[in-house]
Structure 1
Amino acid sequence: MNYFELFSFSPSFDVDTALLAHRYRDLQKAVHPDKFAHSTEQNKRLAVQRTAQINDGFQTLKNPVSRAEHLLALKGIELSHESTTVKDTPFLMQQMQWRESLEDIRDSAAPDDLIDELNQCFIDYSQSIISRLAILLESDQPQDWHQAADHIRKLKFMVKLQDELSRAEDALFDDE
């Protein structure tokens, strides 16, 4: 299913999330299963299915990573169940440095400063990936789509790192 069509958007990485939320609410009102309470069983089932599609579409399009994956899937490149890893050596080296920094938080003399520094670093790096990804996804060249896939893999890693950082920060508060 093309979620961009469902929400009346042109397929694009850049989505107006406020408009997306507005269209989501409108679609949910139109097909909510309660509106079909006195209808046939088939119509009730269709309403539930349609509601699930709308929910899935909304979750997909509001999240930059899943939106990018959906765009690539529409172009014939499926990433959702793959196990391909990033082969970018500088990025892999940077990953190792970030992981070491995450491990250093607990023993740091100034863990809050290290958390803030890492958080900003993760945000900046993710934003640079997103900026490049937006350009690659707008291209009509298959080689650009494959580069976009690598950027999505990097972005997924950054999301995991951000989660790990949040857990490390929570662990500090738990220890206090």
Structure 2
Amino acid sequence: MASLTDSHFALFDLPQTFAVDPQQLDSAYRTVQAQVHPDRFAAAGDAQRRLAMQWATRTNEAYQTLRDPLKRARYMLSLRGIDVGAENNTAMEPAFLMQQMEWRENIEDAAGAKNIGALEALLDELREEERVRFTKLEALLDSNSDQAASEAVRQLMFIERVATEIGAQIERLEHA
């Protein structure tokens, strides 16, 4: 078994690539979880129970990271020493900044008009944009274009936030 300090990929014996087979990840997670689940160590001493809890926590965190493409991309970049810096690095290409402004205006207009259909169409547009950008991100990560991948991650984080806002607007309008 891997050590507590090994990468998430090593923990599940997976190749360190952006493309992760979900079934393979799920299977590896269940295998590791079965080995380290705290219930297996209920009769063990305190030290073994604590260690089992650490392993179970580590396993869950690794699984949650690898199953989410955006978290997986951030994690892969962190393994390469790249801090996405989403909290303090908001510099993005001008075309994307213009697209952000357009999306925001469209959300505001649709929400003001209480047009759920327009919000749903915008959400569909964002999901398609996200799909295309994840494909590009995979190519960037696989070619070790880390700085470009870092910017792509920041852009995807923004798209995810906007999609969440649209979802909240739709829910608010549906329950108004």
Partner residue in 1 for 2:158: 157
Report how far residue 80 of structure 1 moved: 6.4
Partner residue in 1 for 2:53: 48
Matching residue within 101, 104, 115 for 2:106: 101
Partner residue in 1 for 2:90: 85
Partner residue in 2 for 1:116: 120
Report how far residue 16 of structure 1 moved: 0.8
Mapping 1:135-150, distance limit 5 Å: 135-140=139-144, 144-150=145-151
Partner residue in 1 for 2:135: 131
Matching residue within 24, 32, 37 for 1:32: 37
Deviation string, structure 1 residues 5-45 (Cα, Å, up to 9, x no partner): 11111111100112211211111111111111111211111
Deviation string, structure 1 residues 30-84 (Cα, Å, up to 9, x no partner): 1111111111211111000000000000000000010001111111112367421
Code of the residue aligned with 2:119 in structure 1: it is I
Code of the residue aligned with 2:147 in structure 1: it is H
What secondary structure, in the 3-state scheme, does the structure 2 residue paired with 1:106 have? Answer: helix
What secondary structure, in the 3-state scheme, does the structure 2 residue paired with 1:4 have? Answer: helix
What secondary structure, in the 3-state scheme, does the structure 2 residue paired with 1:126 have? Answer: helix
Q: Is the 8 A contact 1:60 1:67 kept in 2?
A: yes
5+ residue gaps, structure 2: 1-5
5+ residue gaps, structure 1: none
Matching residue within 21, 26, 38 for 1:16: 21
What secondary structure, in the 3-state scheme, does the structure 2 residue paired with 1:134 have? Answer: helix
| Deviates most, 123-132 or 75-84 | 75-84
Percent of aligned positions that are identical: 32
RMSD: 1.4
Code of the residue aligned with 1:170 in structure 2: it is E
Q: Is the 8 A contact 2:130 2:156 kept in 1?
A: yes
Q: TM-score, normalised by structure 2?
A: 0.92
